[in-house]
Each structure stands twice: as C-alpha cells, then as structure tokens.
Amino acid sequence: MIVDILTLFPGMFTGPLTESILKRAQQAGLIHVRLHNIRDWATDRHRTTDDAPYGGGAGMVMKPEPLAACIRAVLALPPGATAAESPASPPVILLTPDGEVFTQAIAQELAGAERLVLVCGHYEGIDERVREALITRELSIGDYVLTGGELAAMVVVDAVARLVPGVIDAESVAEESHGDGLLEYPHYTRPAVWEGRPVPPVLVSGHHGEVAKWRRRERLRRTLLRRPDLLERARAAGRLTAADLAWLAELGWPSQAPQTGP
Ligand code: ADE
C-alpha cells in the first residue's frame, strides 16, 4: 500500500514512521509512506501557505493554490512498481475535526485500498473550495480539536497499516478490541502469581476449549461494563450467539425488559 501524506510539517512524522511496527512494515515493503511538504508548492517569495479568513475572525486559513497544486502533483505521480500500486484515483482524505468519526470498520475498509492520500489541515483549516474540488473523504479521529491533522493522519496510518496483510500476526487482529464489535479479553503473562495476585486458574489449566469460553465471556463482561452501546450494536448485527445472550442475561443484560416483536 502506498500512503501519500500532504503536510506543512513533514518532520512531525519522523518518530512514528521510523519505530516499531510501522518501521518494519516499510522495511518489508508492505507499506510505502511518502511525505509531501505543501510549502514546496507555494510560489511567492515567502512561500506563503496561509492567509486571513474572508469575513474576518480568528486564525488563519490554508490558501487554496499551494494545497491544490500539491494534491494534483501527488495524484499525478508516476505509478509505483506496477500500475496497481498507484491507482489513478485513490481516496483523497482530509483529516479534520468535522469529518466522519474514524472507526475500526473504516480502518478495515481503508486497509483494502492500494493507495491512500492523506491531507493534513492546519490553522483554522483549509479553504472550503479545495474541499469541494479535490477532497473525496473527511475523517476525524474524535470529538476534540488538535492543532492540525498530522497526529490524526498518524493515527489513521497506524490503525490501517497493522491491518494490511503481513504487517502483524493475523491472529492478533482476530480477537482484539473493536475488531468484531466487542472489547478484548484481559491478558496475563508470567509469573503465575504477581504481588499475591494469581492469574485466572483456567488459563493455566491447559483446556483450550475452556480458555476460549472464558475469553469470550470476559470480552462480553468487559464490553457490558465499559461499552454497553457496543453490545447493543453487536446484538442488532446478529453477532451474539445464544450462549453469549445466556451469559449476558446472567450478568443482568439487558437491564430493561426485552422488546417484544411487532
Ligand atoms: N484536526 C484537528 N483536530 C482533528 C481531529 N479531531 N481529527 C482529525 N483531524 C483533526
């Protein structure tokens, strides 16, 4: 997968892209991240990329010309090793606090793309006309405001890259939080007793079936305690088995009387 990141601050990406799993994924050729400095497309003497908002008000707005020129240049880049590696019209995604909230489902969808173009806004945002003309999707990483889209782009790259086949163990992805709409079960490693706290006996029993059952139940318990909204969604999507529902009933869910049919 090729990821093109358009930013005024390419230096911000050095740490996250050059450590740990993202570093290995790039070394293994599974993802290729290309950073593009929007300022390189500014044409005036001062290489200006922002200006005061029309209509007045606080802050600065990213000027349309350098950003549009940068996006167009990146879209016109020659294909990668094969044409499929650099498809002609990849999604052009703006990171912005007023975008669609980024979820694991969106990460999964994006992991199937051959190429992503991520545009990092800064200051008060980008000129609306560039959004209309060139942006095909807008993502927010949560209901809070960052100083720019760079950290959000890193979050998206990290969450997407680990789902690209080969980047991490497929089994780790299978049962992790949010993968199938439930939170993850608790994890333990040696020693068997730490500061007087033993690990749950079932985990050292050697009964694989019992371990699997315990883990499923703990996922349900944790999701009920922390994110009951996710349980409701899992039930509505038909992802809970009869055994799951029986266990949840033991835990007191749903707390209100079940809805009867029409
Ligand atoms: N830029 C500023 N805040 C953001 C957020 N929450 N998500 C994505 N991009 C942003």
Residues 65 and 142 in one domain: yes
Looking at 128, 155, 170, the residue that finishes a domain is 170
In a domain, 176, yes or no: no
User: Where do we find the tokens 């809070």?
Assistant: 144
> What is the reported pLDDT for 259?
56
Residues 33 and 149 in one domain: yes
Residue among 12, 141, 150 whose CB has most ligand 1 atoms within 8 A, to mutate: 141
In a domain, 122, yes or no: yes
Residues 36 and 104 in one domain: yes
pLDDT along the chain (262 residues), means of 10: 97 92 94 97 97 96 97 82 57 97 97 97 92 98 97 97 92 77 95 98 97 98 96 95 97 74 60
Residues 158 and 61 in one domain: yes
The type of residue at 255 is: S
Residues 60 and 131 in one domain: yes
Residues 54 and 13 in one domain: yes
Kindly give the distance from the C-alpha atom of residue 104 to the centroid of ligand 1, in angstroms, as a whole number. 17
Burial class (CB in 10 A: 0-12, 13-18, 19+), 138: middle
Write out 221-235 in H/E/C secondary structure.
Answer: HHHHHHCHHHHHHHH
Looking at 120, 138, 170, the residue that finishes a domain is 170
Residues 138 and 201 in one domain: no
Q: Find the largest Cα–Cα distance for the chain.
A: 71
Looking at 155, 170, 185, the residue that finishes a domain is 170
Looking at the DSSP bridge assignments, the partners of residue 4 are 34, 117
Residues 166 and 197 in one domain: no
Look at the chain and report how many structural domains it folds into: 2
Q: Name the phi and psi angles at 12, rounded to 5.
A: -65, -20
Instruction: Find out whether 140 and 99 touch, Cβ atoms under 8 Å.
Output: yes
Residues 85 and 165 in one domain: yes
- Ligand 1 atom closest to residue 142's alpha carbon, by position in its atom list: 6
Burial class (CB in 10 A: 0-12, 13-18, 19+), 164: middle
In a domain, 257, yes or no: no
Residue among 6, 94, 95 whose CB has most ligand 1 atoms within 8 A, to mutate: 95
Tokens of 222: 């944790």
CATH of the domain at 25: 3.40.1280.10
Instruction: Find out whether 104 and 159 touch, Cβ atoms under 8 Å.
Output: yes
CA atoms within 13 A of residue 215's CA, in its CB half-sphere: 15
Give dist(CA 248, CA 262) in Å, integer. Answer: 24
Q: Is 144 in the pocket of ligand 1 (CB under 6 A)?
A: yes
> Which residue range forms the structural domain that includes residue 27?
2-170
Instruction: Find out whether 188 and 216 touch, Cβ atoms under 8 Å.
Output: no
Give dist(CA 17, CA 33) in Å, integer. Answer: 8
> What is the reported pLDDT for 255?
72
pTM of the model: 0.89
